[in-house]
Structure 1
Amino acid sequence: MGLSPEQDTELRRRLRARDLTVSARARLECVRLSARGWTVPEIAPVVEKHEVTVRKALHRFLEGGFEALADAPRGGRPPRWKREDLDVLEAMLDAAAAEGTTWTLPAPAEWLRRERGVDVDSSWLSVLLHRDGFRWKRTRDSLRHKADPALQAAAWERLEGLRLRAEAGEEDLYYLDESGFSPTLPTGFTWARTGIRAVVKREDTKSRRVNVLGALRSRISTERDC
């Protein structure tokens, strides 16, 4: 079975669709492989379908084109959300990851109810987000937003002066640092797209906190004392 250039382009476009169902994708793959010269017995194990199912998919395409490969309408209550609702939610999660805002799973479902007026079960929303490349992943903390470039430049200049004096034997140079430990940890995970790490701007908390100081003597000072 051959495809025209227009049909081949349309086939590729449909295979890239994010909301494509498993069954519809399998039918499109049958058409793609058949157009490349594969036989039905060769296609069946690749798409994990019976040969009869593969032949039905090819016949549906020959008789009705791409539209005939879509899933048949299902009975029961129609979905209570639309693709555009999920697109808006995902755009919001992308913006949240860029801003360092964390979202646990119940929160996006509640956001859809409040902002879009649609009801999606949290477990099903997790499946939908996974389909679109989102994962429940660890965040990364950052204190860079607290840095003052002017103060940093002045500190580096002063430190360089101290280092030079230590090399000249005029000063004993020690490096002092402080680290804080809090028994209450912030949310360390959020929903974010694959390849995106949400950077959370860490602020001081009013909870119980333990600070530890450490000092390191410069090697230059040690060598001067020997």
Structure 2
Amino acid sequence: MYCKKSFYWADVIRLNAHGWYVEKIAADCNGTPQTVREVLHTWQKLGWEGLWKLPCRGGKPKWKQEDIEFVAECLKKEPRTYNVGSISSEIRKRVLY
């Protein structure tokens, strides 16, 4: 899964490869020099993996494996389109009973 930060980090690395200085990259990418340095150090240590390993904003996934299996079973029994509300109500029913 990609996030906007991955594209930001890729731009930072690309501009650095073209010889831009940290301060100029930070100004062009609307970031801070410290963030640019962190991205470049991560790139040097981890390479390509470093672009995707850094966490993105947002809540952590709360799905458990049994929830995913339950939804798969529901789809096998009754193939239809589920929205977030119907999925959560189905899971709630399963937990309560």
Establish whether TM, by shorter chain, passes 0.5: yes
CA RMSD of aligned residues (A): 2.8
Offset, 1:120: 4.5
Unaligned runs of 5+ in 1: 1-18, 81-112, 122-226
Kindly provide the amino acid, as one letter, of the partner of residue 56 in structure 1: E
User: Using the alignment, how far apart are the partners of 1:26 and 1:62 within structure 2?
Assistant: 16
Q: Deviations over 1:36-94 (max 9, x none)?
A: 1111011001111110000000000100011112232763415x9xxxxxxxxxxxxxx
Task: Answer yes or no: is 1:56 the counterpart of 2:38.
Answer: yes
Alignment of 1:207-218 (within 5 A): none
1:72 and 2:55 matched: yes
Aligned residues: 68
> Rg: which structure is higher?
1
TM-score by length of 1: 0.27
CA distance, structure 1, for counterparts of residue 60 and residue 39 of structure 2: 22
Distance 1:76 1:25 in 2: 22
Moved over 3 A (4+): none
**Identical residues among aligned pairs (%):** 26
**Rounded Cα–Cα distance in structure 2 between residues aligned with 1:43 and 1:25:** 14
- Greater strand fraction, Structure 1 or Structure 2: 1
